[in-house]
Each structure stands twice: as C-alpha cells, then as structure tokens.
Amino acid sequence: MKNIVFTRIDDRLIHGQVMTAWLSNTNANEIVIIDDEVAQDEFIKMVMLAAVPQGIHVEILTVDEAVQYLSGEDKGGRIIILVKNPFTINELLQKGITIKELNVGGMGLRGNRSQVYRNISASDDEKDIFKKMIEQKIVINIQVIPSDSKIDISKYL
C-alpha cells in the first residue's frame, strides 16, 4: 500500500491552506483527491491542477480508482488524501484502505448540516460515520492549519 501521510476532509479540496501549510508540514510530494463527481469534471480537474505547486504530483480519482491506486506498490511517495466529506472516507475504509488519523478542516454549513465547531458542520448521518470511525480507533481531529491546536471531534458529536 502507498504511504498516506495525511488524510483531510475539506469541502474546498485544494486551496491555499492545503498547498502551503499542509504540504510543508507533512513533506508530502503527492496529493490524491478522491471524489466521484470531481473526477468526472474536466473543468474542475483543470482548476484543481492549476492550484498545485510545481513538483507535486496530483491524482484526481473516483473512490474505486483510488482504492486501486492506493493499494498499489509504495514507491517512496508521501501522499495527502483530500476528500469533501466523511462518506468518502467511510467508503475507502469499507474497501480496505487503512486510515489511522483523520483531519477535518472544512465542512461548510449547508443542506441538513448543523454547526459542530466553528467552520465545521455535519449532518446526523455524517456525525454517525464519525462516531463509527472513532469506535474503530481512528483519531479524528479538527485542525484548519498545522499551527492550530488539534481539537478532538468526539467532544462535539
């Protein structure tokens, strides 16, 4: 399996904070965006790729493509996984991808979501997924940028 150094939920996916702070903090050299809709949208893919610094490899994949890719041989890469929501993480876990720690950096208030903590909102279904992950001993922290303190999400579910 490839070397996943950081897994983040952020509904904005790639943006300034990810590019500067998290790439530097994790020494990652690859970003894997996992989202079935984004992977099929050539325009959004082009926009995402344009936001990435030179020298950083990017894959934009569906969940099934990501499972196959991440299950491949580790060739020394340091991968950041970016997804929009916990449903995608749950699918990855169900399909055999190991995630030990999860960073929640941005889940905007919309639809049936209610505020959990500052800029983090979640629906009841998303909260249930987080609770199941915590039961599986996955550490889930809210942390927008590396210099922020980690906030244990379980206190807010």
- Give the residues across from 37 on adjacent strands: none
- pLDDT at position 39 is 98
* Position 10, amino acid: D
16-35 exposure pattern, b = at least 16 Cβ within 10 A, e = fewer = ebbeeebbeeeebebbbbbb
- pLDDT at position 132 is 98
Domains defined along the chain, listed by start: 4-156 (3.40.35.10)
Whole-number Å distance between alpha carbons of 85 and 111: 13
CB of 85 closer than 8 Å to CB of 96: no
pLDDT band at 16, cuts 50/70/90? confident
Indicate the pTM of the whole model: 0.96
Whole-number Å distance between alpha carbons of 89 and 84: 9
Please report the beta strands in the chain, taking only residues with DSSP state E, as ranges in sequence order. Answer: 4-10, 30-34, 57-61, 79-83, 101-106, 114-117, 120-122, 139-142, 151-152
pLDDT band at 17, cuts 50/70/90? confident
- pLDDT at position 105 is 93
pLDDT in tens, 92-127: 999 999 999 999 999 999 999 999 999 899 999 999
pLDDT band at 38, cuts 50/70/90? very high
- pLDDT at position 27 is 97
Whole-number Å distance between alpha carbons of 51 and 57: 12
